[in-house]
Amino acid sequence: MNSILVAAFVLATGTTGSTGTTGSTGTTVPPPLFTEVGAQALPGVTTLCGSPQKDWIVEVNGGGLALGDFDGDGDVDLVLVDGSTVERVEKGEPGNPPRLFLNKGDGTFTPAGDAWKIPPGRFGMGCAAGDIDGDGDLDLVITEWGRTRVVLNEKHAGFREITAGAGLGSAIEWGTSAALFDADRDDHLDLAVVNYLDFDTQKIAKRGAGSCRWKGHDVMCGPEGLVPEHDRLYRGLGDGRFEEITKKAGFVPEKAGFGLGVMTLDYDLDGDTDLYVSNDSTPNSLWENQGDGTFRDVAFARGVSHDANGKEQASMGIAAADVNGDGRPDLLLTNFSGENNALYASKSNGFRERSSPAGLGGPSVPLLGWGTQIADFDLDGDLDVVVVNGHVYPQADEPGTDTHYAQDAQLYRNDGAGRFQPEPLSAAGPLVLRASAAADLDGDGDLDVVALGIEGPVRVFRNDAPHGDARHWLRVQLAARGANRDAIGARIIAVAGARTWSAEIRTAGGFQASCPAEAHFGLGSVGRLDELRIHWPDGADQVVKDVAVDRVLRVTQEEAK
């Protein structure tokens, strides 16, 4: 464990080496796997999202974040997309600007210098990171209740906004999540922007007018009864600019949904990248890539549009990974309180909801989930789940709601047989969290989690997983031949004897978040891999033999034969 973070831990909790507490039944309860060290990692850093009492729906999503190596020094930096208030927007005043924080190398951060300053926008929401101009560094797309913005990274030396000429149009829409991926396999990253609804304070009642009720309580209005906005798809031109291809690519559902999250995945293993979009209170979409960058919504036929009851859920965050070990990605959706989080397990011709048998259903019912990640957080060789929670209504603390505004973030540990047991993520207690992303912030091989509150301090959950002979790991970064340098869309299979682990390279983080373009494998007692099989985005296959673990492995694509 890193010494500086140990010091931070002491400051945060007043103790070290905790071995757990004794429960009421006399059994020893292990300490949480994570420690919340936001006050030390990002001292004084807060975000804003409207009024604390949440009079309008635009005030409840919180901001966004991107984790990635923006300055090219090998560690994971953090971009925060901050919000504003409705009053400021109505006065024509800018919101809080997005900010880059550079990793000192130990999981603590410092504000980046002036060269990295991004001008303030209208009311920030989410972001996606990727090398959109093919120059070898991480650029940014920022969603807002406003215009979608493009910010280029100038060779790891600073940011330059090019929104005006980026080809994304000038329409004021409410973009939530975005994903960068190579839809048409032309080696340039394309862009999907998920939109929520048409928000206009002149057309929607403010909370307090008695117009909208939830469990008998007066709450902000929406999304039901409001007008959803269609999502958008743009083809990347390779130089930071885009052209809209929403209609041309068939990326238009029969009815728009209240879009909140987006995930890239190759669900049918046909080598191209598909998209999954989570919608609030409307059916979710699975956009199957037809191989040429056009799409068809197959969510219903594949069993991922509604829950097992045939009900549309109020879906928020998305995670994708191969939980059931069949080589295909499974999907985890976080949902509104009163609904369970949904695990859609892959099968040969689609998915089947397996939330409850997996233990992910029941415990999530009272909670309202947002950001979620599937990864091997305890390094025991199987995939666990992190979900951060928090209600949209401060009024959830009123009588009779069966829930609360602030809720525990959760770790669902896999018992190795595909059944998950929930536990608090940390000892931080209930929080009102929204977007989250996971990455190895302190370089110790396990995945830490950054989560934004609806407002206030940014939360950094340091992973304190024990390391050793039964807790091996491997981080794999790819360097592809072409402009899609980070190989977004590549698939990696790790092999040790009869065991395999698979992962996809993506930066899409589900809900208003972006994660590093790398694969993380928790390997348990496997101390060496027989091979890594890499399926590159251009269709080439490559095998790396006899792979040492407990390190960051960077694989460069072989030259074409």
Partner 1 sequence: MRLAHALLALAAFVGGSALAQQGSERATPQVGGEVAPAPVQSHEQDARESALRRDPAQLAHAAPDRWKDFDPEKWKPEDWPREFLEAHTELARGDLPAAIAHLYAALDSEPEFPPALHQLGVLYFQLQRYGDARTCFERYLAVVPGRVGDTRGLAHALYSLGDYAAARAHYERVLAAAPQDVEALRGLALSRYRLGDVEGALADLTRVLEREPGHADAWAWKAQVLLDLDKPVDARAAAERARDLEPWMPRAWFVLSSALNDMGREAEAHAAHQRFELLSQFDQEIRRLQAHLEHEPGDFEARRALVNAQAEVGDRASVRTNLARLLADRPGDVAVRIFALDVCDRTGDVAAGKVAAQDLERAGADSVAAWKRLETWYAVRRNRTKQIEAGERWRRASQP
> Residue numbers of the site for partner 1 (CB under 8 A)?
203-205, 209-216, 219-226, 280-281, 300-301, 303, 306, 308-314, 336-340, 349-350, 352, 356-357, 361-366, 393, 398-402
Q: Are 97 and 117 in contact (CB under 8 A)?
A: yes
| Pairwise CA distance, residues 551 & 543, whole Å | 18
Which residue, 222 or 516, has its beta carbon nearer to partner 1?
Answer: 222
Which residue, 221 or 438, has its beta carbon nearer to partner 1?
Answer: 221
Beta-ladder partners of 181:
190
Q: Are 92 and 131 in contact (CB under 8 A)?
A: no
Q: Name the amino acid, one letter, at 159.
A: F
Min dist CB 226 to partner 1, Å, is 5
| Pairwise CA distance, residues 369 & 353, whole Å | 17
Min dist CB 235 to partner 1, Å, is 30
Which residue, 19 or 348, has its beta carbon nearer to partner 1?
Answer: 348
Which residue, 84 or 355, has its beta carbon nearer to partner 1?
Answer: 355
Min dist CB 205 to partner 1, Å, is 5
Which residue, 124 or 303, has its beta carbon nearer to partner 1?
Answer: 303
Min dist CB 309 to partner 1, Å, is 6
SS3 of 396-426: the string is HHCCCCCCCCCECCEEEEECCCCCEEEEECC
Enter the tokens of residue 554.
Answer: 């960077």
Min dist CB 172 to partner 1, Å, is 19
Cα 120 to Cα 68, 96, 98, 182, 328: the distances in Å are 21, 6, 7, 29, 40
Question: 């300053």: which residue's tokens?
Answer: 117
Min dist CB 485 to partner 1, Å, is 40
Which residue, 226 or 483, has its beta carbon nearer to partner 1?
Answer: 226
DSSP state of 22: E
Min dist CB 397 to partner 1, Å, is 12
Which residue, 227 or 470, has its beta carbon nearer to partner 1?
Answer: 227
Beta-ladder partners of 533:
493, 543
SS3 161: strand
Please enumerate in sequence order all residues whose Cβ is within 8 A of that of 21, keeping only pairs 6 or more positions apart, or say none: 28, 29, 31
Q: Is 347 exposed, middle or buried (0-12, 13-18, 19+ CB in 10 A)?
A: middle
Min dist CB 5 to partner 1, Å, is 35
Handedness of CA 212, 204, 284, 331 (dihedral sign): negative
Which residue, 12 or 60, has its beta carbon nearer to partner 1?
Answer: 60
Q: Are 509 and 261 in contact (CB under 8 A)?
A: no
The total number of residues shown for the chain amounts to: 561
Min dist CB 376 to partner 1, Å, is 23
Min dist CB 500 to partner 1, Å, is 24
Which residue, 214 or 324, has its beta carbon nearer to partner 1?
Answer: 214
Min dist CB 167 to partner 1, Å, is 33
Which residue, 167 or 223, has its beta carbon nearer to partner 1?
Answer: 223
- DSSP secondary structure letters along 284-313: -EEEEE-SSS-EEE-HHHHT-SS-TTS---
Which residue, 62 or 350, has its beta carbon nearer to partner 1?
Answer: 350
**First vs last C-alpha separation in the chain:** 43
Min dist CB 11 to partner 1, Å, is 36
Question: 């890539």: which residue's tokens?
Answer: 289
**Which H helix or E strand runs over 7?**
helix 3-13
- In 250-294, the DSSP E strands lie at 258-265, 274-280, 285-289
SS3 86: helix
Which residue, 254 or 546, has its beta carbon nearer to partner 1?
Answer: 254
CA angle (552 as vertex; 330, 550 as ends), nearest 5? 85
